[in-house]
Amino acid sequence: MKKNFFLKNISFTIFSVLALLIILAAVFAPLITHGIDPLNGSLKDSIIAPNAEHIFGTDKMGRDIFARVIYGARTSLVSAFAVVFIVFIVGMILGVVAGYFGGIVDAIIMRIADMMIAFPGLVLALAVAGIMGASIKNAVLAISIVTWPKYARLARSLVMKVRNMDYVNAAIVTGSKTLHMLVKYMVPNVLPTLIITAATDIGSMMLEIAALSFLGFGAVAPTPEWGLMLSEGRAYMQSAPWLMVYPGLAIFITVVVFNMLGDGLRDILDPREND
């Protein structure tokens, strides 16, 4: 009998559970924080060290840091998932089209991708976000604009490997339509690799969003977002270190969990790992 899937893939199982717990914490934030509003505070409670009432302390506006960290998971996770989803879909479509049709279509798409890759990703994202203005939506769009070429080039290379296979040529000769060819033969060949790439990119996308917010190009106050919380706590690094410690730990733990989850998923889906 086959081994139990979860026991066979213990690393994937552990980090799947941890990732699920993080997502559930974001979904059920009101229950976990006992209804504390992360946006409202009292100046008389400003900069209180961690205690029984405020286990993570409070910030300069008297807002509860624990509540802001938990609610910040919503902003950070939704933003990271949105970026990965956008670049996955856009990159896959453009890469498959470029690899399948070739010629002028391939040249146009790949030259645009080359131009995007020529600039450091975060620097270009900062420029795009600066032009569009500071907001979490613009940060997501800016990072998506500079990240899709990675997926497009990967999808293109995978399509080109199967484009001239005998079974593909046979399908063309028998009159299969272009859309049918793309959906039935091209997309299934690129999906596993792109899924692995997307899973491993969740953590890095979260870091980039936090970086934009930290630099003032992402989330704006009073939105509870981890990168913005780090930025707000800089001035109190020595007198109130908890303002940076807890959102920093939240970023660290979440990024590590999703990176390890991506590695576990790669071990499962990558056929080279199952030899």
Residue 203's CATH number = 1.10.3720.10
Q: Which residue has the higher pLDDT, 269 or 249?
A: 249
Domain that holds residue 148: 59-274
Q: Is residue 50 part of a domain?
A: no
Average pLDDT over residues 190-201: 88
Q: How far apart are CA 82 and CA 237, in angstroms?
A: 31
DSSP 126-162: HHHHHHH-S-HHHHHHHHHHHHHHHHHHHHHHHHHHH
pLDDT interval class at 257 (50, 70, 90): very high
> Which ranges of the chain would DSSP assign to H, the alpha helix?
5-8, 10-27, 29-32, 65-101, 103-117, 121-132, 136-162, 166-173, 178-181, 187-214, 226-233, 242-269
Average pLDDT over residues 228-257: 90
pLDDT interval class at 118 (50, 70, 90): confident
Query: Is residue 82 within 8 Å of residue 143, measured between CB atoms?
Result: no
Query: What pLDDT does 171 receive?
Result: 75
What percentage of residues in the chain have a pLDDT greater than 70?
96
Q: Is residue 28 part of a domain?
A: no
Q: Which residue has the higher pLDDT, 26 or 2?
A: 26
Average pLDDT over residues 81-101: 92
Q: Which tokens is 217 given?
A: 């190009």
- Give the contacts of 87 (CB within 8 A, at least 6 positions apart): 144, 147, 148, 150, 151, 198, 201
Q: What is the mean pLDDT of the chain?
A: 86
Q: Residue 53 class from Cβ within 10 Å (0-12 exposed, 13-18 middle, 19+ buried)?
A: exposed
Q: Is residue 15 part of a domain?
A: no
Q: Name which of 199, 230, 155, 206 is nearest 15 in CA terms.
A: 199
Q: How many domains does the chain have?
A: 1
**Residue 103 clears pLDDT 50, i.e. is over it:** yes
Q: Is residue 246 part of a domain?
A: yes
Q: How far apart are CA 259 and CA 19, in angstroms?
A: 10
Query: What pLDDT does 270 receive?
Result: 66
Q: Is residue 167 part of a domain?
A: yes
Q: Which of the residue ranges 19-23, 39-43, 196-200, 242-246 would you say has the lowest mean pLDDT? A: 39-43
Q: Is residue 122 part of a domain?
A: yes
What percentage of residues in the chain have a pLDDT greater than 90?
30
Q: Is residue 211 part of a domain?
A: yes
**Residue 1 clears pLDDT 80, i.e. is over it:** no
Q: Is residue 76 part of a domain?
A: yes
Q: How many CB atoms lie within 10 A of CB 267?
A: 15
- pLDDT tens for 223-241 read 899 999 999 888 888 888 9
